[in-house]
Amino acid sequence: MEWAGREKHMRGIPRKMVFLAVGAFAKAVATLLNTTSVHNADTLIRLVRSRPPGIPLLSVSNHMSTLDDPLLWGFKGFSSLDANLARWVLSAEDICFKNYALTYFFRLGKVSQEDAPIRRLKWGTASLIVRAHVTPIVLPMVHSGFEEVRYLPSVALFVSSEWILFVELVELIAWVMPEKFFLDRRPPFPLCNKKIKIMIGQPLEFDIPKMRQLAISNSLGDHLFSSTTSKGWPVISSHGLDLDEAAQRCLYSTISQQIQTVMEELRSSAKSS
């Protein structure tokens, strides 16, 4: 299936058809069947279209339903139909969903629908930021309302040239979200006329070289990151510095906490607005 992601295969017609179908579905759910309001959308659009060349953009959001993506990008004013801005990749079902290790990894992404503070972030996002050859711009966002919308699952995986969007396949024949509708059961039909709210924050830029130095210093005297709790992480080298497991844990924790704090502020703002 490698041909499916090639831009020049059949003049790109199959590729464009997939993007048009998924993008149109997202637009229909976000703008036609439901009402979507977006705070600070201009910042997202600006960073997608005109940020400095070579600088990656990493978006971080909460997880309210199985199909947050690509529906999150279906709001009015954001182009989700242009195949030239992205490329799509198929994941092998026999590898991604039958390999125990990878299946466990996908289960770590928890769907949290309760009205509660943002949970502690996994360190995967922080690891991406630290290990990137070029430090990305991080754009935090929080959304609500997708947990009230019910739709069929989709099989699609987007890896954008601008940033990464992905839709995870959870159930092929099961309906999704909301988890509880009537008598603790999922509704038997799609819901509409719901209000979807998307709060986009200001971009975060991390001074990774400086934060690495601080992480090395702080990890030496902090028992939480000491060798007694080691899990055997390999040492990583970057910009002339070697980060052992203790330093990595300290650095990942610091970055994750900063992003979590901003996301919680966005969540609070969404509730009060």
Residue 101 has a pLDDT of 52
In-domain check, residue 94: yes
Residue 123 lies in a domain: yes
User: Kind of pairing, strands 86-88 and 137-144?
Assistant: unpaired
| Predicted local distance difference test score (pLDDT) of residue 149 | 59
Residue 13 lies in a domain: yes
d(CA 127, CA 142): 21
Q: What range does the domain containing 120 cover? A: 2-204
Helix or strand (DSSP H, E) at 259 = helix 245-272
The total domain count for the chain is 1
Low-confidence ranges of the chain (pLDDT < 70): 1-6, 65-67, 80-81, 83-115, 146-191, 221-230, 238-239
Angle at 91 between CA 90 and CA 93, to 5 degrees: 125
Residue 54 is assigned to a structural domain of this protein = yes
pLDDT of residue 207: 93
Residue 115 domain-assigned (yes or no): yes
Q: Tell me whether residue 236 is in a domain.
A: no
Q: What is the pLDDT of residues 225-249, one digit of tens each?
A: 555 566 778 888 766 778 888 888 8
DSSP string, 153-168: ----EEEESSSEEE--
For residue 220, being part of any structural domain is answered with no
Please count the CA atoms within 13 angstroms of the CA of 106 that sit on its side-chain side: 17
Determine, yes or no, domain membership for 221: no
Amino acid at 168: E
Mean pLDDT of the chain: 73
Q: What is the pLDDT of residue 20?
A: 83
Q: Is this prediction's pTM over 0.75?
A: no
